[in-house]
Homo-oligomer: A and B are copies of this chain.
Amino acid sequence: MNLTPDPGHVRLALHGGAGDPPPDADGRAQREALRAIAVQAHALLVAGGSALDAVTLAVERLEECPLFNAGVGAVLNRDGRPELDAAVMDGRVRACGAVAGLARVKSPVRLARAILERTPHVFFAGAGAEALARELGLEMVEPDHFITDARRRQLAQARKAGAITLDHDHESAGDRPRDDDAAFGTVGAVARDARGHLAAATSTGGLTNKLPGRVGDSAVIGAGTFADDHSCAVSCTGTGEAFIRAGFGLAVHARLSWCGWDLDRACAEALHAVRRYGGRGGCIAVDRDGQLALPFNARSMYRAWVGADGRVHTASRPQDAD
């Protein structure tokens, strides 16, 4: 990459999770929130800001919005606590940062970014990750900061239904994990900046009623989050276990880099693998030539994007873009 800087190279896509919302949910509020955040991140890119800054900003804003399953409004684990995962990756040299199991760091994606820039490591989990956040001077909050009444109700329902519980009798591994519509809502962003550099970021509260300590694909570099200037930037949402088994981001990268496939075909194949491993969801992706792909195999995926026309579009169902 390293093109001559040109706002015409700029591309952006955001997601606010994929799933099967009730038929009466029109997703208008989510789309408006995605639009406002896309406008802000797009302005940063057009002004010459980096793809890395744009995806970090977009995901931080999505974390602050209670409509999505990340940061404020994240789903709750079996113990009624939020446990937040996030990752960010810079396509220039594949520098990356990832975090898992946070309850006290205000912006998980900002901690991932700080790990990328200020430590010799790439991945931190649990209490050590929170201690690092304090040491790096990031803003800390109480776990209650993230909890909304809607998520408390959702957890109560999930507990009643027994969804995502341990299954001691289940020895065969082929059909795991269970499909759970409450699983969705992860947020993410991918961008291509005016110089042609790529970046991706993802942040999530994971699965409602998940076992404490469970880590999904968002924090797994190469699965739910991946970026390389030579190929593409990808951020996923859905049943994390299946995205990890599919090695989603790296599979798309390999098809582009080594097989000459286009982005649509590569994402479709990876999503097919997710289905084979018992999962559902979607992804947002941008390739080095500026092509966008936003496929999903659930009924809807909240999404916003800016393609070659330079305009912000949003959609939730397969065909309802504006």
Residues of chain B within 8 A (CB-CB) of A211 are 119, 121, 124, 128, 132
Check B241 against A222 for contact (C-beta < 8 Å).
Answer: no
Residues of chain B within 8 A (CB-CB) of A136 are 166, 168
Check A121 against B177 for contact (C-beta < 8 Å).
Answer: yes
Interchain CB contact (< 8 A) of A120 among B100, B126, B176, B215:
B176
Q: CB-nearest residue of chain B relative to A273?
A: B94
Residues of chain B within 8 A (CB-CB) of A166 are 118-120, 135-136
Q: CB-nearest residue of chain B relative to A174?
A: B93
A83 contacts chain B at the CB level, 8 A cutoff:
yes
Check B245 against A254 for contact (C-beta < 8 Å).
Answer: no
- In the bound assembly, the distance between CA atoms of A128 and B102 in angstroms comes to 12
Residues of chain B within 8 A (CB-CB) of A123 are 214-216, 220, 244
A199 contacts chain B at the CB level, 8 A cutoff:
no
CB contacts under 8 Å to B, within A168-203, are 168, 170-171, 173-174, 176-178
A55–chain B nearest beta-carbon distance, Å: 15
Interchain CB contact (< 8 A) of A164 among B120, B176, B223:
B120
- In the bound assembly, the distance between CA atoms of A96 and B221 in angstroms comes to 16
A213–chain B nearest beta-carbon distance, Å: 2
- In the bound assembly, the distance between CA atoms of A127 and B212 in angstroms comes to 8
Interchain CB contact (< 8 A) of A215 among B125, B213, B216:
B125
Q: Using an 8 Å CB-CB cutoff, how does the interface string of A105-120 with B read, 1 for contact, 0 for none?
A: 0000000000011111
Q: CB-nearest residue of chain B relative to A90?
A: B173
A299 contacts chain B at the CB level, 8 A cutoff:
no
A124–chain B nearest beta-carbon distance, Å: 4
Check A124 against B245 for contact (C-beta < 8 Å).
Answer: no
Check A117 against B244 for contact (C-beta < 8 Å).
Answer: no
Q: CB-nearest residue of chain B relative to A166?
A: B119
- In the bound assembly, the distance between CA atoms of A211 and B251 in angstroms comes to 31
Q: CB-nearest residue of chain B relative to A97?
A: B173
Q: CB-nearest residue of chain B relative to A121?
A: B214
CB contacts under 8 Å to B, within A240-278, are 241, 244-247, 250-251, 253-255, 258-259, 277
Interchain CB contact (< 8 A) of A244 among B122, B164, B244:
B122
A235–chain B nearest beta-carbon distance, Å: 16
A98–chain B nearest beta-carbon distance, Å: 8
Known: A211-B132, A258-B254. A221 touches B221 (CB 8 A): no
Chain A contacts to B: CB under 8 angstroms: 77, 83, 90, 93-96, 98, 100-101, 116-132, 135-136, 164, 166-168, 170-171, 173-174, 176-178, 210-216, 220-223, 226, 241, 244-247, 250-251, 253-255, 258-259, 277
**Sample of 17 more A-B contacts, CB < 8 Å, known A100-B125, A126-B213, A131-B213:** A94-B277, A95-B174, A119-B211, A120-B166, A120-B177, A120-B241, A121-B211, A121-B241, A122-B245, A123-B216, A126-B126, A126-B128, A131-B212, A221-B244, A222-B250, A247-B247, A254-B255
